[in-house]
Amino acid sequence: MSENTLVNKLKSRKIQPTAMRLLVLKFLVEKQAAVSLNLLETHFTRSDRTTLYRTLKTFEEKGLVHRIDDAGDSTKYALCPANCTCTYPNDTHLHFFCTDCENTYCFTDLSIPNFALPDQFIPEKGNFVISGHCPACAA
Ligand SMILES: [Zn+2]
Ligand SMILES: [Zn+2]
Ligand SMILES: [Zn+2]
């Protein structure tokens, strides 16, 4: 993905493109699966940590990424589909966590059902994770 495409991707979410934001976005785009916070922390230097956390927070607030809490030991981030608003349940999709390679996959085409929750429970976000073996590990 070209620098220009990355800049436009940020702008489409009303995010000012800064050097760090472009680096984080590039890193997320290059990975096929969701990226763990551990991996991001390792990739960026210690001095960048505060900026990294702030960047991820901004990305999440602007709907560029969503956070996934799967069965692994780290929070993960994945890019949202272009028109995602991250609202429950419309923009909430299924995730698959591979217990072998610990990758998390977004199935953005598989929406999670709108469960009828008991009275007075107000849903805001859904984090639907199925775990098992991905095709690469099952082979
Ligand atoms: Zn989203
Ligand atoms: Zn796997
Ligand atoms: Zn996802």
- Contact call for residues 84 and 65 (beta carbons, < 8 A): no
Calculate how far, in angstroms, residue 14's C-alpha sits from the geometric centre of ligand 2: 35
| Cis previous bond, 89, omega within 30 | yes
- Contact call for residues 19 and 6 (beta carbons, < 8 A): no
Calculate how far, in angstroms, residue 97's C-alpha sits from the geometric centre of ligand 2: 8
What is the distance between the alpha carbons of residues 109 and 134, in angstroms, rounded to a whole number? 17
Calculate how far, in angstroms, residue 106's C-alpha sits from the geometric centre of ligand 3: 4
CA torsion sign for 40, 45, 48, 49 is positive
Calculate how far, in angstroms, residue 11's C-alpha sits from the geometric centre of ligand 3: 21
Domain around 125: 3-138
The tens-digit pLDDT sequence of the chain (139 residues) is 899 999 999 999 999 999 999 999 999 999 878 999 999 999 998 889 999 999 999 999 999 999 998 877 789 999 998 889 888 888 889 999 999 999 999 999 998 888 899 999 998 888 789 999 999 999 9
Calculate how far, in angstroms, residue 42's C-alpha sits from the geometric centre of ligand 2: 21
Calculate how far, in angstroms, residue 19's C-alpha sits from the geometric centre of ligand 3: 25
What is the distance between the alpha carbons of residues 132 and 123, in angstroms, rounded to a whole number? 26
User: Which ligand sits nearest to residue 33's alpha carbon?
Assistant: 3
User: Which ligand sits nearest to residue 95's alpha carbon?
Assistant: 3
The strand pair at 104-111 and 76-79 is best described as: unpaired
Residues paired with 130 in a beta bridge: 96
CATH of the domain at 95: 1.10.10.10
Calculate how far, in angstroms, residue 139's C-alpha sits from the geometric centre of ligand 1: 31
Amino acid at 41: E
For residue 131, the model assigns a pLDDT of: 94
Q: Quote the tokens at residue 52.
A: 């990294």
Calculate how far, in angstroms, residue 51's C-alpha sits from the geometric centre of ligand 1: 21
- Helices and strands (DSSP H and E) totals, the chain: 5, 6
Give the total number of structural domains in the chain.
Answer: 1
